[in-house]
Copies of this chain bind each other. A is one copy, B any other.
Amino acid sequence: MASNNAGMEQLAIGIDIGGTGTKFGIVDREGNVLFSSEMSTRGFDTIEAFIEELHKKVQPLIDNVGGTGRIRGIGVGAPNGNFYTGTIEYAPNLPWKGIIPLAKLIQDEFKLPVVLTNDANAAALGEMKYGAAKDLNDFIMITLGTGVGSGIVANGNLIYGHDGFAGELGHVIVIPDGRYHEGTGKKGSLESYASATGVRNTAIELLENSDTPSLLRDIPKNELDSKKVYDAAMAGDQLAKDIFDYTGKILGLALANFVMFSSPSAIVLFGGLTKAGDLILKPTREHMEANLIQVFQNKVKILVSHLKESDAAILGASALAWDVQ
Contact = CB atoms under 8 A, between A and B. Distances in A.
Interface residues on A, range: 35 or more
Given A155-B157, A176-B253, A253-B173, A261 B261 contact: yes
A164 B137 CA distance: 12
Nearest to A181: B293
A174 B155 CA distance: 26
A10 B161 CA distance: 33
A150 to B, nearest CB: 9
A146 interface: no
A22 B169 CA distance: 38
Contacts of A167: 261-263
Interface in A188-228: none
Contacts of A154: 154, 159, 161, 166
Contacts of A291: 173, 186
Contact of A155 (B160, B175, B262, B263): B160
Interface stretch (A39-47, A58-66, A102-110, A294-302): A294-302
Contact of A295 (B89, B173, B174, B263): B89
A162 B296 CA distance: 11
A159 B169 contact: no
List the 8 closest pairs (A to B, CB-CB), nearest first. Answer: A161-B263, A162-B265, A166-B263, A138-B162, A168-B260, A172-B257, A171-B293, A154-B159
